[in-house]
């Protein structure tokens, strides 16, 4: 992957004067230290399905580094999610709403229950916010009619066939035929990834349930000191393993247009205490998920983490993001990495 040569530091969204353009500084891009192989950058559109895209990208890269090429369909998982959520809303007698938000751990559970397929065999241009509204209307109609769950699911299947993609029953790869479940189990087992976080209001070295709104499944995360967490991230990337990153993209200096995310006080090293204060004061939100694929360093020695985003390719780095080390220290909610990345390649 060829990375652009410079960062353009844009100071305003408005048109710049000639004088401002002449005075605008150009900074040499951080030099790549390590880079994990990836599939092409995808685009989640205006959906809230980043957790699906990021975890699938992580699984893809983990296979690529082992010499096994896979490119997986987020739309197959999105359809399965809509089916699960519609059933949950129906059984609540229409009192609940379909949820499209989630965490990377939910992706692993989804494919263990429903399966998976290739990207090229299950593409879609669906607007999932529109599909969600249509599915909710359908569910509430069937709740009112008391037709039964079976009839609702049949009608929902017709809707999703039309709005997302027709149901797929078989997956073909290298001359072999799989069911979607068999294929999913061949690319990721339910215990293949380790979930990590770092917060001082729980004991280190033990797992705890992370209380954030998107953790519907009440998943547990191993709690590590911040420096230990960062060490595991660095070690995984340096040995060629991807890391799935979940955290905060709402900071003022998180800019997809520029391809950069950094803290306003990036010169001050973020400590465990500073990170904890931001979390407890509700200044850190859990709103985005990306695949970490590498590390880079500026001529001044500042480290950046390279992330594969899922917002398309329209930024200076073809859809990639550079997160400063301080940003990762402060704004990481959780990460996932393979058992081999965490324990060592001989695991």
Whole-number Å distance between alpha carbons of 40 and 318:
10
Q: What is the mean pLDDT of the chain?
A: 91
Residue 215 reports pLDDT greater than 80: yes
8 Å CB contact between 59 and 187: yes
Residue 28 reports pLDDT greater than 70: no
Whole-number Å distance between alpha carbons of 311 and 258:
13
Whole-number Å distance between alpha carbons of 97 and 180:
27
Residue 27 reports pLDDT greater than 50: no
* pLDDT band, very low/low/confident/very high, at 261 (cuts 50, 70, 90): very high
Q: Please tell me the predicted confidence (pLDDT) of residue 345.
A: 78
Residue 7 reports pLDDT greater than 50: no
Residue 21 reports pLDDT greater than 70: no
Q: Please tell me the predicted confidence (pLDDT) of residue 332.
A: 98
Nearest of 155, 100, 109 to residue 130 by alpha carbon: 100
Q: Please tell me the predicted confidence (pLDDT) of residue 25.
A: 36
Q: Please tell me the predicted confidence (pLDDT) of residue 29.
A: 67
Residue 27 neighbours by CB distance under 10 Å:
13
**Residue 32, H or E segment:** strand 31-35
**Residue 245, H or E segment:** strand 243-247
* pLDDT band, very low/low/confident/very high, at 15 (cuts 50, 70, 90): very low
8 Å CB contact between 329 and 230: yes
Residue 74 neighbours by CB distance under 10 Å:
27
Residue 107 reports pLDDT greater than 90: yes
Residue 324 is classified by DSSP as: E
Name the pTM for this structure. 0.90
Q: Please tell me the predicted confidence (pLDDT) of residue 174.
A: 76
| pLDDT over 70 percentage in the chain | 92
Whole-number Å distance between alpha carbons of 73 and 123:
7
Q: Please tell me the predicted confidence (pLDDT) of residue 26.
A: 41
Residue 135 reports pLDDT greater than 60: yes
Q: Please tell me the predicted confidence (pLDDT) of residue 248.
A: 96
């Amino acid at each position: 992957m060829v990375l652009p040569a410079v960062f353009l530091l844009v100071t305003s969204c408005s048109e710049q004067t000639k004088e401002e353009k002449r005075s605008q500084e150009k900074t040499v891009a951080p030099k790549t230290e390590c880079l994990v192989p990836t599939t092409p950058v995808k685009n989640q559109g205006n959906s809230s399905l980043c957790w699906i895209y990021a975890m699938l990208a992580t699984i893809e890269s983990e296979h690529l580094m082992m010499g096994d090429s896979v490119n997986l369909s987020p739309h197959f998982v999105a359809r399965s999610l809509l089916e699960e959520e519609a059933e949950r809303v129906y059984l609540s007698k229409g009192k609940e709403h379909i949820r499209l938000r989630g965490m990377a751990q939910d992706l692993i559970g989804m494919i263990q229950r429903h399966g998976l397929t290739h990207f090229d065999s299950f593409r879609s241009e669906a607007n999932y916010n529109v599909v969600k509204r249509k599915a909710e209307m359908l569910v509430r109609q069937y709740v009112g009619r008391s037709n039964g769950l079976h009839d609702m699911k049949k009608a929902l299947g017709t809707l999703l066939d039309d709005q997302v993609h027709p149901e797929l029953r078989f997956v073909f790869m290298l001359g072999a035929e799989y069911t979607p479940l068999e294929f999913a189990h061949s690319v990721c087992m339910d215990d293949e990834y380790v979930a990590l976080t770092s917060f001082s209001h729980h004991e280190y070295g033990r797992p705890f349930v992370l209380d954030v709104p998107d953790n519907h499944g009440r998943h547990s995360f191993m709690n590590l000191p911040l420096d230990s967490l960062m060490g595991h991230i660095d070690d995984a990337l340096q040995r060629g393993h991807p890391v799935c990153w979940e955290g905060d993209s709402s900071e003022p200096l998180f800019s997809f247009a520029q391809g950069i995310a950094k803290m306003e006080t990036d010169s001050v090293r973020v400590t465990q205490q500073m990170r904890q204060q931001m979390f407890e004061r509700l200044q850190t939100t859990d709103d985005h998920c990306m695949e970490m694929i590498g590390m880079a360093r500026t001529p001044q020695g500042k480290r950046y983490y390279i992330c594969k985003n899922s917002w398309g390719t329209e930024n200076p780095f073809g859809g990639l993001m550079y997160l400063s080390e301080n940003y990762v220290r402060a704004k990481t909610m959780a990460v996932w990495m393979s058992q081999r990345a965490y324990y060592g390649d001989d695991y």
